[in-house]
Amino acid sequence: MTEPTPTLQNGLAMRIADFGTLAEALDYAARGITGLNFYSGKGELTEILPYATLRSQAVALARRLLGMGLKPGERVGLLAESDGDFARAFFACQYAGLVPAPLPLPAAFGGKEGYISFLRRMIQGADAHAVFGPAVLADWLAEAVQGLNLRCSGTISELNNAPMVDETSLPAPESLAYLQFSSGSTRFPLGVAITQPAFMANAHYMAKYGLQVNSSDRCTSWLPFYHDMGLVGFLLMPIACQISVDILPTREFARRPLLWLSLIARNKASISFSPSFGYELCTRRAQTATTEGIDLSSWRRAGIGGDMIRP
């Protein structure tokens, strides 16, 4: 497959986040043909992940997580790279009855040592029993967890060799869905426990009454999965509404902001959000770079938030 997942379904009736759990939402989305599409900083399609494939891979990974001795209800830290591995690991936790805690990537943490110290405190604050991240950060993660009493840690790919149990362990409808950390802009990030019904109610009202989603919608995002707007708005809510998403690496946006707009135009996305600085960056870049071919007429919901809105 060289084309991204389609916008329109194959006859699957749209349901707007009316499920009991996130696992049930993915079960339903997997019956259709939509999914996640990951792009490089050059705009090249690097991974196509239909929801059907995401579900089968997440279920297999859930059996491996349980096979490593993790128990339902325990928390799992996930370094939130904008890639398929994060999506697989997040939903593997759902099918294993575990509680994923998305953790930030290195950005403004004072270099390597600052990030490792920050990450260690977040892992401890999350009361995580396991932590996983991308291969590129494996050495830093190993330093961050040194001496911590974890059942396991490492990269997602390393789990491919882990033993598997026979059955998954689906979460109860009232159980925790995930741990969401605050932004940390004014103090050290605090973990907020989000239950399955709390997420679903939020996603339902946001999608049905805020965005007024319909079966022809498509999302595009560069927002990080460790922030609420990226995780909920452009991973979990689209899955709960069976909507395809096109995803750019967060770290590449500052280098090539117009790639975001180009991808919206290319795939005719209708929903995309950004903090105010993202729009400002695009405006400044458009003054010196060509915008030829960037037709944004399909973009019907342009959200803003996540930072102070300047006039």
Domain span holding position 107: 22-255
Query: Are 213 and 16 in contact, with CB atoms under 8 Å apart?
Result: yes
Residue 304: pLDDT above 70? yes
What confidence tens digit (pLDDT) does each residue in 186-228 have?
557 778 999 999 999 999 999 999 999 999 999 999 999 999 9
**CATH code at 112?**
3.40.50.12780
Q: Give the per-residue pLDDT at 5.
A: 98
Residue 23: pLDDT above 70? yes
Q: Give the per-residue pLDDT at 309.
A: 65
246 vs 51: CA distance, rounded Å: 13
User: Residues, the chain, total?
Assistant: 311
* Average pLDDT rounded to a whole number, residues 36-43: 96
Residue 306: pLDDT above 80? no
Number of domains in the chain: 1
What confidence tens digit (pLDDT) does each residue in 42-94 have?
999 999 999 999 999 999 999 999 999 999 999 999 999 999 999 999 999 99
Cα 121 to Cα 90, 136, 177, distances in angstroms: 21, 20, 22
Q: Give the per-residue pLDDT at 46.
A: 97
102 vs 119: CA distance, rounded Å: 11
Query: Does a structural domain hold residue 6?
Result: no
Interstrand relation of 176-181 and 301-304 (parallel, antiparallel or unpaired): unpaired
Q: Give the per-residue pLDDT at 293.
A: 86
Q: Give the per-residue pLDDT at 160.
A: 85
Q: Give the per-residue pLDDT at 187.
A: 59
Q: Give the per-residue pLDDT at 110.
A: 65
Query: Does a structural domain hold residue 294?
Result: no
Other CB atoms within 10 Å distance of the CB of residue 273 = 21
- Average pLDDT in the chain: 93
73 vs 101: CA distance, rounded Å: 12
Lowest mean per-residue pLDDT among 104-113, 168-177, 204-213: 104-113
Q: Give the per-residue pLDDT at 199.
A: 98
Query: Does a structural domain hold residue 298?
Result: no
67 vs 280: CA distance, rounded Å: 48
User: Residue 288 — very low, low, confident or very high, per pLDDT cuts 50/70/90?
Assistant: confident
* In the chain, % of residues over pLDDT 90: 83
User: Residue 290 — very low, low, confident or very high, per pLDDT cuts 50/70/90?
Assistant: confident
* In the chain, % of residues over pLDDT 70: 95
Q: Give the per-residue pLDDT at 273.
A: 97
Query: Does a structural domain hold residue 260?
Result: no
User: Residue 291 — very low, low, confident or very high, per pLDDT cuts 50/70/90?
Assistant: confident
Burial class of 188 by CB neighbour count within 10 A (0 to 12, 13 to 18, 19+): exposed
What confidence tens digit (pLDDT) does each residue in 117-140 have?
999 999 999 999 999 999 999 999
Query: Does a structural domain hold residue 188?
Result: yes
Query: Does a structural domain hold residue 283?
Result: no
Residue 221 forms beta bridges with which residues? 247
What phi and psi, each to the nearest 5 degrees, are found at residue 287? -75, -20
Query: Does a structural domain hold residue 27?
Result: yes
